[in-house]
Amino acid sequence: MQHLKGKVAVITGGNSGIGKATARLFTEEGAQVIITGRRQDVVERAAQDIGPSAIGFVGDTADLEDHCRLAETVKSRFGGLDIYMANAGVINLTSSAEVTPEDYDRHFAINTRGVFFGVQTMAPLIRDGGNIIVTSSLAATKILPDHTVYAGSKAATAAFAKNWAIEFKSRRIRVNILSPGPVETEILAKLGVSEAERPAFEDHMASLIPAGRLGRPEELARAALFLASDAGSFVNGIELHVDGGMTLV
């Protein structure tokens, strides 16, 4: 049984990591998926890799005009959508003393402002009974070294989502938060972890997680599928931690 048969989904940041894994699973479950990303070559390769039910859209979530272009594309091609996953994000681990205004603004432009105005722009196109998934982070609720600005940007989106769950209740649009812990994705390289350092880094992170390992993108995708499908039809306004129990320690 395909749990998303006939549905249309938009996944921002769907060209890699959790977003790409979710896009792949959604298409396998019958959905037509539009993935977004900033680099055309990466977006095109990801869409081709996912399969014929995936369409790539090049845009920056920090650019409000790109949200409008995306909405126009969705409306013209599909008339509307059923699932909007605000997943695109950026992270740069820096102590508060070393955060620059540019670094601060970049985090909040992409992680926070982009999520808010993405939902504002796409909400009129979401069909009644549809749903929104906001990708937050374990860091929004657990104190981690050098995560202050990133954590703040993600905590804000979780607050947005809980308010939207009430705002959209007349349209029966469910809004939930997916909060990953450490996951094996390309983001490790962006954190400055080299290939040589990666085994030691992963071993250290695994020692902090009750599950004893990092998560896999496919595991986050399955959680997103639960929230997006009828399996989660009575789930609304929650923050689902998919972190191997790391919030507990």
The residues annotated as belonging to the active site are 150
Tell me the HSE value of 102 on the side-chain side, using a 13 A CA sphere. 0
Calpha distance 228→224 (Å, rounded): 6
What is the DSSP secondary-structure string of 112-136? IIHHHHHHHHHGGGEEEEEEEEEE-
Calpha distance 124→66 (Å, rounded): 16
* CA neighbor of 183 nearest in space, from 234, 231, 241: 241
> Which residues lie below 8 Å from residue 99, measured CB to CB, with a gap of 6+?
148, 149
Calpha distance 190→17 (Å, rounded): 12
SS3 38: coil
Under a CB-based contact definition with an 8 Å cutoff, are residues 132 and 175 in contact? yes
Tell me the HSE value of 162 on the side-chain side, using a 13 A CA sphere. 9
Under a CB-based contact definition with an 8 Å cutoff, are residues 7 and 75 in contact? no
> Which residues lie below 8 Å from residue 233, measured CB to CB, with a gap of 6+?
174
